[in-house]
Each structure stands twice: as structure tokens, then as C-alpha cells.
Structure 1
């Protein structure tokens, strides 16, 4: 089982650690760092670096992400449908609303320098990233996704629930799961509960992929 998990904005690859501890040891799980340098980066630059990173992994693989990572995972599944076995999107925004991006920029402007140093980031990098997301829109190309998919959202993550529901409406066979008592950072707040959902979904997705192989 090859699984690639992408962290969110303000997180690192280590943010998946507790979730991974609750997943089967035999799974080969890859968690690339999306912010590799302190240089300011736009969304497109980060995405292109991620595409290059994916060349290291045996394809097709299962792909998942949270928040910013979910956006990248969704775009990758649209652009490279044959390389993705299944898609797990946590707190995804297909077209980030302007008010949300402005709110994130406001929050980042208030955070101390120590916060950014802890996550190998800088304030200018995140502010530029937020601005570069304003024209992103994945809604029009969702039909390119060919694999089993699931949208996952925290029960208290009210901002992203609507976008998650829009995703499953666009893909008729997509699933939807809510993690109880969780907010936005499900992988940190409820890693065990998230792992249960991931295991159940990937078991179903793997079975569907096997059935698809048998069809002439």
C-alpha cells in the first residue's frame, strides 16, 4: 500500500505522525515537506515542487491531504488521474473564498516570529501564499478525477464543510465523513479517529481497484 499524505498550511510533515502511528505498519507512507526553504513561494511554485516529488513514489498510489495539502492532492488527481488510486481530501477548499484568505492573512500578521521559525516558514512566505490562492478554482475540472474519493471534515470545521459537500456532489460516487469533536486540524486533534476512517476507505478503494482490473 503506497500512501502519500500532504500537510496543511502552518503544519509540517510531522503533523501526520500520530495519525501514521495508528495506520498499519506494512503500509509505505510518504509525507513530503511542502515548505522546503524559507524563500517566499506562490501556490503554483509549491505545487510544481510537489509534482517533482511525486516522481519518487511508485505510481499509482493513494493520495491524501489536509487543507492546503488537500488542494494540492485534488489538483494532482485532476492533472494526473492515472497516477492516483484513491483520493482523501480533508478540509478541502475547491475555490478558497476571499474572506477566508483575508482572515488567514490577518491571523498570520499577528503571529510572533517564533511561530514561523518553528515551522520552517516566514511571515512573508505565508502571506504571499495566501495571495496566490485567490484565483485558484478546481470546481470546473473535477470530472477528470477517475478514482474513488472521500471528503473528510471535522465536526467543528464549519468553514470547510460546505466545500467538502460540494466536492462529493460533483463526484457522484465520492464519500463524505465527519470526525466528531474535531476542528480544522483533524490530523492533530483526532489522529486515531482519522486513521480509522482512512483504513476503512482505503480498504474499500483497494477492493474497487481490484474489481476494475478484472473487468475486460
Structure 2
């Protein structure tokens, strides 16, 4: 571990220190004012990154988030905070579970025959490809649980640095399965996700 920490410390000296100096000058002036302090402080940052399992991709995403948070009084910069920032940075721009659910319901409901429909995020598109058809076989509660499980799984994989797979070519579905009751009757939705879909549809009207 010591060798790994030393390697990461060297990387932080080259790539994190300039960011700290430019975006966090008070922190840099207090903690990085001479070579000895620089090595000690960045060594602590490196150690937390190694312990927390921060990936290379997560590190660079964390750097970008660090720049965006500069000047925010609520963010206190320290080794643990930076490591956590790196781990969550890759999922910072993901749509919420509710947004994903809403778009899948839209695509499988009122937009199911619209060949031009576009998802707002690739994660919504992927989950729809993998689990969206289950809306025709499961109850509303079962479907909600299935989508949540898939969403949580991909969020973890993205946080670990995994890329979303490209869209697959799909043949047109000519079977046209019947819609479940909670999509047929959006005026009186029977579950939370259908209520969400109805509310957002009314909001767009």
C-alpha cells in the first residue's frame, strides 16, 4: 500500500496541487506552503484515495467537481471529502430514479408508437431496453422494484468507472401488447410511478 500511496502522491502533486493553488488559495496557503507540507498533505489525500478505492476516471471527475465547488462555503476540503467527491462525481449528472421511471412509462405508454422518441439520458434508454418490456407482465409495484434494482446496479457500476453500453439495434415490435391498467387510466393512477407520470404529463400540457 505504501508504494501505491507514493505513486498517487506523485500524481496529485502534478495534477491536484495546481487546482488547489488556483481554486482553493486559502487552503493551499495554509497547508501547501512548502515542499515538506505539500508532500505531507497530498500524502494524506493519496492515502484516503487508495483506501476508498478511487479510480483514475473518478479522480478526474472529482477534479472537475472540485473546480465547480470552489467558493462554496458548505464544502469543506479535506482528504476524506475529496475521496468521497471522486467516488460520487461519476454519478453526479445521472437522472434521478423518478425521471428514469417517468420516461420509461412515457415510452411504453403514450409514446410507445412514436419511433422518434428520444430519452433525455443514456441510462434511461438502457434501462428501458433491458427492463422496460416488463411493464406489460408485472404489477405496478413489481415493475417499480425491478426498475429500481436495475437503476441502483448501473449507478454503482458507473461510479466504479464503467461505461454504459451503446444502444442496440431493435426490431420493431408488431405484437403491440396491451397496456397495464395503470397506464390505460392515467386519470386515476394506481401506483406512485403512474401518479408521477400523470402529474408530469399534466404539467407539460
Q: TM-score range by the shorter chain?
A: under 0.3
Greater strand share, structure number:
1
What TM-score does the superposition give when structure 1 sets the normalisation length? 0.25
Greater helix share, structure number:
2
**Greater RCO, 1 or 2 (C-alpha within 8 Å, sep 6+):** 1
What TM-score does the superposition give when structure 2 sets the normalisation length? 0.26
